[in-house]
Structure 1
């Protein structure tokens, strides 16, 4: 068994879940666009911060994770969403590629979304 143990990822956005995130999670996960807007995720992200303050935990200890579904039709919009997610405090971004995958998309994902965002960090 890994010591001190594997990181605990908790997904959800309800108030009781946020309390559990503050108490136990190493990573907090929430589904992002198109399911939830980045502004909404940023707003909900303040709730576990409040719970952390109440228990004396530094909220920066919790990695914020979001999944974004990639739009093959609009790489610029996806890149903007990823950047907005980073600005909203998300430190872990999952880019979900819907099937079927267009042949050129793994390279386009790197060239048009990942590399430009990393260059701005």
Structure 2
């Protein structure tokens, strides 16, 4: 079950029932906010005796076509904050070759760092 959101009571429900938790990340919520809410979820899991690693940490990131380095830094920050499922949200209109560009300029460099 996937539950989306970040409220304290909702995070308790995530700890009790969810397999996946999803939250909007930057620009809607900062990396620090997402990380802080993850710590609240971890605390709820500890209270319930649930391993927090059982819950997939999913976050949506709005891609900046003008600044792929900023998007890359944001994704890397989220991964370092414990997010293990990142959804790259592509705003319209879609530039020519955007998927290849994201794979080369955002995804591959992040994977290189994470897998090192």
- Is the TM-score greater than 0.5? yes
Give the TM-score of the pair, scaled to structure 1: 0.92
Give the TM-score of the pair, scaled to structure 2: 0.96
Divergent runs of 4+, >6 A:
none
C-alpha displacement of 1:115: 0.6
Structure ID, larger Rg: 1
C-alpha displacement of 1:114: 0.5
* Cα distance in 2 between the residues matched to 1:111 and 1:81: 16
- Quote the residue 1:14 is aligned against: 7
Query: Number of residues paired by the alignment?
Result: 114
* Cα distance in 2 between the residues matched to 1:107 and 1:22: 36
In angstroms, what is the RMSD of aligned CA positions?
A: 0.6
Q: What are the Cα deviations for residues 45-103 of structure 1, in whole angstroms up to 9, with x where unaligned?
A: 11111111111101111110000000010000000000000000000000011011010
The answer on 1:45 being equivalent to 2:26 is no
C-alpha displacement of 1:104: 2.4
Pairing of 1:1-121 with structure 2 (within 5 A): 8-121=1-114
For structure 1, the 5+ residue unaligned runs are 1-7
